[in-house]
Structure 1
Amino acid sequence: MQFQIRKDMHMNDQKNELIPVEITVETLKAKIYMVRGQRVMLAADLAEIYGYTTKAFNQQVKNNIEKFEDDFRFQLTAEETADLRSKFFTANINPKSRYEPYVFTETGIYMLMTVLNGELATRQSKALIRTFKQMKDYLSHDPLLSDSANIASLSLQISENTREISEIKDAMVTKDDLTKVIQSFSLPDKGIEYVIYAGQTFEADAAYADIYSKAKKKLYIVDNYIGPKTLLMLKSVPANVDIIIFSDNLMNILRLSELQAFQAEYPNVKLSFQRTGGKFHDRYIILDYKARTEKIYHCGASSKDAGNKITTISKSDNKELYHPMVDNLLLQPALRLR
């Protein structure tokens, strides 16, 4: 739920009178802009959502300025402000202000949730989290977003929620209500077995991100049904890890243009593809094959679909049992996307 402040009310004079307006994917999308290659929201729009005047909202941020680095919040240049005004006539920018407006990245919005107090702030944070989740699902499944580059870039920005929420959880320990919401997105286990229930797409993303982040040198993914989200999840992989996706790309869900869009945005991801030879039904994740840190996981669902239905990811204790299977995969020819 969103609230707008009556223009004749001031926070220092009396309690704000709020007019509730429903937050939906469509209304929130209208308040998200592309600046410097990333999606941001204006401080003025966030102030309205949280029931503050822009001045009071900015003061709250200044009181906690050490939490907002440049990748969380930044001030627009005069050129960026003019460009935003020219493209979006309804952008919430005060033409009388002597200063250029500030904007918040999605990371900054989650940090913002840790510094705003009160029942309204907690309620609005919950509403934002739920709406961001709906937007993530929309970007993944809306057939109108069939342009490959759009899917790769748009989905990626919102898919960052899980790791960013996890990184700032420690700052939320005194925010009981909000912490309970954030904890529902936490990693579902200790890395041995993950149980993911229907509807837990955030938990599923967290599970795969957690596993991928453990790779030291090599990451092998065996999955015959791959798509754009398969690539998006690879941003959790540490640098200098060689990634091979073994797949026959059944139904041709992943296209060459989508791979090219991903590689353009993440040129440091070392990724190649090989076929499976038409012999695989199950999915596997192999970390650091035949190294001391080797781990092998059996996955019930593809990473792109996990969270849609109940599924599990289990780590195998008998790694040697899988070595003949992996050795055979390494002999398979390259997969050529179309």
Structure 2
Amino acid sequence: MTSKTETRGGRQYLPYAFTEQGVAMLSAVLHSDTAVKVSIEIMKAFVSMRHYLQENAGIIGRLSTIESKSAKFEEKTIEYDKNFKKIFSALDKQIETPNQGIFFQGQIFDAYVFFEKIIQKAKSEIILIDGYVDLSILERLATKKKNVTVKIYTNEKTKITKLDIQKFNEQYPTLEVVSTAKMHDRFFNNRQRVDLPHRCFS
């Protein structure tokens, strides 16, 4: 096998490869002992290679088939990954905060997260019915959108003072607190309107 180059970085030629028959013809031209020995060894190498290919043709064919199947499997895997990403992306877009929820004893954090999401989701008005309201509730209501009004129905003995309401309205208007003795448990509404029965409980 030889190649030819005119100058460094110059034009290159494709290499010449001798076949088994070419080596046999070459050995007929060469007369030195070294050349003859080299030709014989090369011929032996060709013969061994031919025998190897014949004996392992089945294995080589199966390996080729496996490589082909592996390449196709890899292409399919990439395609499946893309499809799964599209599906999960579509599901993520469709997931919305539920409008109502029931929480059992011990689900404190779940209820907290749910309450925060509903506050941030409200577009015009938030109505909270809670017999026990303190500053921590106002802190959470402060995360509402700018133009959302807040109305709280709470017990007359609530811990929220008129000063608390005033300070809240100065920064996060508008908050209205209505005192009532007809509350038992907590209700939350982020819709336009709420109707109170004679006595509320849950």
**TM-based fold match above 0.5:** no
Name the larger-Rg structure. Answer: 2
Structure with more strand by fraction: 1
- TM-score, length-scaled by structure 1: 0.27
